[in-house]
Structure 1
Amino acid sequence: MNEKTVGMLSKFTGVSVHTIKYYEKLGLISSSRREQSNYRSYDVKSCTDIYECMKYRNMGFSLKDIQLLLKEGDNALLSSLLEKRSQELATEVTELLNTRELIENYRKELAELDRRLGKWYIEDCPDFYFRRQTKGLNYMDEASCESDGINLAEYAPKSSSLLELSPEYFKGDLSAFSWGHGISIDTDNDFMKDKKGFEKISGGRMFTAYLCLGGHYASEGDLINEFLRYYNEYKSGIPKAPVYGFRLRITLDETGERKDYFRFCVLASEEMNQMVV
């Protein structure tokens, strides 16, 4: 048989009836109508054109580009579209590799969190920027995550929710804390430099504690004793500089209660060098 019905063509080519009809609607393939049965039939050219469509679809070409190639395509157009598609894929590969790097770095960070949970260390920490958004539990005016063309939320998980606890907080003023968003930066690539609305916190040798907290730990002061339990193993009293908590993970425990996991840090020196830009 030289011509096939759409069902027979579907079995012959391995392409669904729906796709064949859609390609025909777009004018990518054509059919003829049988006088006796009023069914549409497809010749060998339709079959080979379907394969041509599938070839370009499997390379990720848009249907619009396929229409151009089948109806107007010459060697120059084909070469141009192949180069364009290759460049698009190179960009996609780069973006996927960057996303994979984010995932792998976050996995390593969580593995480090689990290894160090409930322990304290003195370690070197990089500089970071803080976008303050609340005072206590009250939102500040004009304190979105974006300022001066930088939206820190777009950098997550490199950026994270950041909790600041002032020395007054540890003296009993349970409103002396702020939430916001923070991001550590590479000193060789300080893309945040001179961006208005962000506080630059100088890093250095820091006391660091990895803690898991539940409930209203900030507003009700539950974390004070938990943090000081570790801090007082290092130095008696309360911190004389702000304590910063980077939230690394939120999960539910076996009872369904929410648990927040933090890396808290405060300069090991007596003073925190803080600059507002």
Structure 2
Amino acid sequence: MKILCFIQTLDGNANNNSLESLCAAQEISKNNGAEVHAVVFDKSVADKLSGYQLNSVIYVNNEELNNYNPEYYLKALEMLSNDLNPNLLIFGHSYETRDWVPRLSARLDKAFVSDCTKIIFEPELYFIRPIYQAKLNEKIKLNGQGIVSFQAGSYSSDNISSGSCNVNEVSFDLSLNLTVRPGERFKDSADGVDLSNAEVIVSIGRGVGKVENIDMVKSLAEKLNAQIGASRPVVDAGWLDHSYQIGSSGQTVSPKLYFSVGISGAIQHLVGMKGAKSIIAINKDPNAPIFEISDYAVLGDIFEILPKLLEEL
């Protein structure tokens, strides 16, 4: 079995979700002996990847790939796949992946299983992904060929096995009559926050009641040396900037601890934080969806619980 794992990059750095998917590829290899080859369009990242336990790193050296364009990305991966004939292509489930990988699936005539959360062997290889608004899990077997993307937080990039491998450079004729010309990449405001690498996050929901109560939650974050996050209703109300928003229309996070305060847990929020290693939730609604994925569920009034918790801390 041969696996190609695509590593998305930005400004000379590997996307963390891509590195997590590389960890998944290594896990498959440990179980069935598959070859794992990382594919990347950035030379500096290719050199860094050579320090991992892989069969090779494939650096695709084309000027057209220096900036994101789905048509160039599609053609490069199509040509590489036709040359190497991999059994499996693996991606992190990013916005870019959602943009161009379905086209790759159609071009290669390979099934695309998106948004997976784990792999299992029974003893054959199966991929698990949430369906019906994450109420159920689907178990999928690919018959020899396919494309898979992994949800952020499904695996930890800290668990990638180290080693050494060669970097093989290739290039392709990517001549195209472009129909898509991406604009300037979106940039966060100067005072925005990046929660992608936060180890502890205290996240604020509509249950805090009003903006004046946010300071109490911020005090908890300070005690825990944590970053602040928020659900969409808090951002929509103007209580916190959009850069704090976690969920399908905000940031995707996978901290060691996610402390939810007054968040009910709509599916749009859960998809952005369910990769957290441990989840603590405080809510007065016993039917709050977030309790279903929490490691510790605290049922009660946050205005009674938080002051006592702050005293203990």
Could you state the TM-score of these two structures normalised by the residue count of structure 1?
0.22
Choose 1 or 2 for highest CA Rg.
Answer: 1
